[in-house]
Amino acid sequence: MKLYDWPFAPNPRRVRMFLAEKGLGVTVEEVGGPNVTLKPESVARFDPHATAPTLELDDGTCISESMAICRYFEELHPEPRLMGRDAKDKAIVEMWERRAYEGAMLAIGELLRNTNPAFVDRGRGRHARFTKSADKQLAHNRFLAGAAFSVADVTAYYALEFLNRAVKMPIPDALGNLRRGFDEFSACPSAAATA
Ligand SMILES: N[C@@H](CCC(=O)N[C@@H](CS)C(=O)NCC(=O)O)C(=O)O
């Protein structure tokens, strides 16, 4: 198992702090430079998302969202609990984590985008990378997280639906698997019920 880290950046740091609180050590490899860019030779390693941190498991599975990495360790090493203990406690931790992420962590990206040329047109790049990776995932899986419908599909398809309808950024024609998934999602009873 290996954690791809970038000491300069806040997302990898929160994973390292989570591990420190749990008293866990993992092998770490640095992929980021000393400023706001990943080392160019590392970006291909993280294609299509090109962000740190990423946790690579021994079977080759790559998990590249900080909270997904934390969840993995929380399940394997529950104590000390850092993601809540019961239903209400878990919901409150998640609510405040999402608020902190959206209110503070995403603010970093938006501020950098407005002030740093390295961040110009990040929104379009992000959309292109996500749709391409989702299309690849759906080439071999019926749903985004595998064989079962999950909240990942709900988030993805409602975001894509809004991007298409309100922002005029449709799913590219070439991404047939994602278009198939989107059509299937749109036709399901719960989508019709929430249209
Ligand atoms: N949602 C991801 C975000 C990861 C992320 O954006 N990481 C930043 C470092 S804090 C990054 O690698 N940025 C590289 C770039 O945008 O080029 C997470 O929570 O881990």
How far is ligand 1, taken at its centre, from the CA of residue 65, in Å?
8
Q: What is the pLDDT of residues 53-77, one digit of tens each?
A: 999 999 989 898 999 999 999 999 9
Higher pLDDT, 191 or 95: 95
pTM of the model: 0.86
Of residues 130, 142, 105, the one with CA closest to residue 50:
130
How far is ligand 1, taken at its centre, from the CA of residue 187, in Å?
33
Of residues 12, 18, 32, 119, the one with CA closest to residue 76:
18
* pLDDT recorded at residue 144: 93
Cβ–ligand 1 distance for 38 under 6 Å, the answer yes
Higher pLDDT, 113 or 46: 113
Question: In angstroms, rounded to a whole number, what is the distance separating the alpha carbons of residues 124 and 188?
Answer: 28
Higher pLDDT, 120 or 133: 133
* pLDDT recorded at residue 148: 92
